[in-house]
Each structure stands twice: as C-alpha cells, then as structure tokens.
C-alpha cells in the first residue's frame, strides 16, 4: 500500500529548531537542507531566518550562488544532509515521531506534480522516492530502538 499523505513535507516546521554543527537553528528541514549548500556561515544564517519556501527560492539567486565545485561536493552528501535533518525532525518525543511510527509498515511515497524524480515520484509513478526511502529507514530504526532496553 502506498502512503500518500504529505504531512512530512520538508516545508512544514519541526516541533523545535533543528540545529546543525555550526550552532545555527533551522525550523524546517528545507531550510537546513538549502543552507547546507552554502560554504559560509553568513549565508547559512540568512537562509535559517527565511521561510521554507523563500529558502528554496533564495539558493537560485545570485546572492546564494555557489561554484560548480561546491555544487558537486554538496551532491555527494545531500542524502546524508537530508537524513540528518529528518532524524532530528522525527526524533522520539516530537509530534512528527508519533505520526511517522503510526504509518506502520506502509510504503511512504513523496508524490509530487512538479516533476521531482529524485526525492519523490511523479503522479505517473516515475521517480526514485529518496525522501520516502529515508523516512522508511528512519521509521525502521526507530522501531528497533524502541525495543531496546
């Protein structure tokens, strides 16, 4: 069964701020993910203080442009960046945790109509669904962790 609710969207805020290794607080996984593309603290702080939608748009502007080498470096770690953010958002004790665990063993699919075939699947079922895969991995890890003494 495919799970199609989109409550886990990166645009929706976490229960509390997500904090990265530089001590900057982010209120959504989208902000955290977009800021991780930036090589400098100043631009990361600017992104952290934007709305989720604005952070996604900002990284396409001249002010936040990065070099092809920086982009290539980010591409090598983007899955880990997203997983780190999601693990914080869905940590035990958050309302997001309860919602994720409540999905049981259902397949989680990030359906979209904006042709994102990397993080999700298009409405015709084409795509890698990496966001859904990460959420299912985290959910499995949480279930294992909850059975440990």
Write out pLDDT tens, residues 120-134.
999 899 999 999 999
**CA 9: distance to chain centroid?**
8
Indicate the pairing of strand 25-26 with strand 121-122.
Answer: unpaired
Mean pLDDT computed over 135-148: 83
pTM: 0.87
Contact 59, 45 (CB under 8 A): no
**CA 1: distance to chain centroid?**
23
Contact 8, 108 (CB under 8 A): yes
What structural domains and CATH numbers belong to the chain?
8-77 (1.10.357.40), 90-149 (no CATH)
For position 146, what pLDDT does the model report? 61
Q: Using alpha carbons only, what angle is made at residue 14 by residues 88 and 18, rounded to the nearest 5 degrees?
A: 45
| The pLDDT of residue 57 is above 70 | yes
Token pair 């909850």 is at which residue?
146
């Amino acid at each position: 069964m495919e799970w199609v609710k989109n409550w886990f969207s990166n645009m929706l805020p976490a229960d509390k701020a997500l904090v990265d290794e530089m001590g900057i607080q982010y209120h959504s996984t989208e902000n955290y993910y977009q800021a991780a593309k930036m090589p400098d603290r100043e631009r990361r702080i600017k992104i952290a203080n934007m709305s989720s939608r604005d952070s996604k748009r900002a990284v396409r502007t001249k002010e936040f442009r990065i070099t092809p080498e920086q982009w290539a470096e980010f591409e090598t770690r983007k899955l880990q960046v997203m997983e780190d953010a999601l693990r914080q958002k869905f940590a035990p004790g958050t309302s997001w945790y309860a919602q994720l665990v409540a999905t049981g063993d259902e397949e989680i699919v990030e359906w979209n109509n904006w042709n994102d075939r990397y993080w999700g699947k298009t409405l015709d079922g084409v795509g890698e669904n990496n966001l859904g895969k990460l959420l299912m991995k985290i959910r499995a890890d949480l279930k294992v962790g909850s059975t440990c003494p």
